[in-house]
Amino acid sequence: MNKNKQRMTSKRSPKQNRRIFGQWLFFGAIVVFGVLIIRFSYIAIGRHVNGVNLASATKQLYTEDQTVAAKRGTIYSANGDAIAEDTSTYTIYAIMAKNQRSADGKALYVKNDAKAARVLAKYLSISYKQALTTLQKGNGKFQIEFGTAGQNISLTTKKKIEAQNITGLHFIQSEARLYPNGTFASHLVGLTASKNIKDSERTRLTGSMGIELAFNKQLSGTDGHKTVTKSGYQGTTDSVKKVKNGNNIYVTLDSKLQTLLESKMAEVEKQVHPKTMTATLMNAKTGAILATSQRPTFNSQTKSGLSKMWRNLLVEDTYEPGSTMKVFTMAAAINSGNYNSNITVPTGEYKIGGKTVPDWNTAGWGNITYAKGFALSSNVAMAHLEQTMGAKTWLKYIKRFGLRSSTNSGLANEQIGSIQFTYPIEQADTSFGQGIQITAMQMLRGFTAIANHGKMLQPYYISKITNPNTSKTTYQAKTKVVGQPVTSKTAAAVLAHMQDVVYKSYGTGSAFKIDGYRIAAKTGTAQVSNGTTYETGDNSYLYSVVGMAPAKNPKYIMYITMKQPTLNDTSASEDMAEIFKPVMQRALDEQKASETKTTTIKMRDLTGKATSAAQTTAKKIGVNPVIIGKGAHIVKQSVTSGTVLTRHQRVILVTNGQMYMPNLTGWSASEVADFAALTGLKLTTNGTGYVTAQGISAGNPIEAKQALSVTLK
């Protein structure tokens, strides 16, 4: 049987076998090809393979989902000067790995340690020796950094280092906050810190104190997202979520008054070295804080001094106010019908419940009226008033004046203070500001009732908030009455007593007189408590003063505290007057000037106008035009149309001709920044305040990208 099979098989010729194999191969190829056609048709129509959407997957290869970071809102002064705004800083690092080269073969690592160290020492706060040691220790590592010396580098410094062409030095850009005025209500304005964003390599600036913290949500904005399609795939960019930049905040601080206050505070601090010191100027008719500062303070830009004091003394520090409390004692007694101008009381000391209330003049002044006792700052006279009122009535007025409740400032860690009011001696002590702990903001709020016909106002420091995405104002501050502890008649009577403090021969406030203006004031001296007992010695007091002017109908209130100064040949009142008088006088002078002129000016659009016509128009509306260039037409202006300005505010107008340098003396940091932005100059500043020197002399021609350095003071 096997033989028969062999014969049958062998009957086919090789040619026949090849033909049959070819036929099977042909039909097999047709089947495979058919399957492939069906499969490709399915993919082409359905665009799915194993559950994967091919169209989506292909798009992902050529598209990128990007986050568009929101710009943090700018904080402006009442004058429109930027006092906190976004900028960029850089961190420098050095690549040390010798195998790191670019695509074209150029070295990306540090080739010469000594040369790199010299450049770093020249432009950073690091010595040549430190820089060289750091570089040498980094040999064998991929990359190294230079600690705090290599962080927060400005764009100007970065460019100077790059100009040295040192291989291996590289930079990382970071979002940063610019505080161009340096020391400028630093604890109120606040600071930001860079924090990592969850599930991201990016960072975000977040408020860490002051307004930056209190209004962090409004300032932060909302990031946007966009899908970028790379070249070769339709070449489009699809916005998925539009970025919303943070809101801009306008504070009530007046730039000129604030700068003057900082200057005077610094002078007095240098003279008497107080442990702490505060000063605040407030609009008595609105509650707006026009200037405020404290010592110790810090430079917001450099952070110098920050380690000395983190607390905002305006709301976070409680203290016994001393004799400025007598303003409220007199008001309470008069308003409650317990004040008799005719009776007299003995002074020197007063026994209450076996305890003694002493006067600062232990011998006393004999029998005196309450009015004279107030001007002399007699503790005994005020204790008699408290006893006459009764503790229940007095406590009611303490609460009416808001001295036991929060001012709702919105600032972090605000305190409400405390009071010792159980025993008769404790109740009497509070009448002259001992045994009660308050904040400076509480005192200021209470004082508004005396200055404002009995109506107590809410202190505030934000004037408005605007949305840069819609150009709309989202918040506008309004004067808010938060109580009426006394009548208008009582407030007027207290103001009259406060004038006695300044103008009576025996008054304690003669140092606060200002030529041309009538001042109402009350001084204060309180022993400093260490928590259990009172400190002793010449440097154990907290001195204070509250002043209101003009005395009969105050426009301004200024309150100063000075804790444990080292007094020299001057009195505490004379030292505080060095702050009070120049700041209060400037405020009064500006108020007087504004009352005789139009206060509201709206900027017009002058671009496109003939230069001479634009200059004439600017002067007519009341601003001070500075013409840059000798062109025939205006092409740029520093203030946008519709912006509300103060009279004689400087406005920069750039023409279409050759630009020439103006005299920048007296310009603010923000005005110089606007000028540089308009003209394309590369600006570097040194110092804070107003321009005293400039690198390009007035009258010289200037070109875009030219370097300009200015010194401010």
Read out DSSP for 301-357?
TT-TTGGG--S-TTTS--B--GGGGHHHHHHHHHHTT---SS-EEE-SEEEETTEEE
Question: DSSP state, 488?
Answer: H
User: Which pair of tokens denotes residue 239?
Assistant: 């916005």
- The two structure tokens encoding residue 614: 């634009």
Q: How far apart are CA 629 and CA 232, in angstroms?
A: 47
Whether 323 is a known active-site residue: answer: yes
Cβ of 527: how many Cβ atoms within 10 Å?
15
CA atoms within 13 A of residue 232's CA, in its CB half-sphere: 7
Query: Phi and psi (nearest 5°) for 417?
Result: 80, -165
Closest CA to 465 of 202, 179, 73: 73
DSSP reduced 3-state for 171: strand
Token couple for 300: 């917001």
Question: Residue 606 gets which letter from DSSP?
Answer: -
Give 676: exposed, middle or buried? Use CB within 10 Å, 0-12, 13-18, 19+. Answer: middle
Q: How far is CA 118 from the centre of its chain?
A: 36
Non-local (6+) Cβ contacts of 169 within 8 A are: 92, 93, 94, 110, 116, 119, 120, 161, 162
Task: Out of 186, 323, 409, 638, pick the active-site residue.
Answer: 323
Q: CA 640, CA 656: separation in Å to the nearest integer?
A: 18
Q: Annotate 638-686 with DSSP letters as a single string.
A: SS-TT-EE-TT-EEEEEESS-EE----TT-BHHHHHHHHHHHT-EEEEE
Give residue 3's identity as a one-letter amino acid code.
K
Which residues carry out catalysis?
323
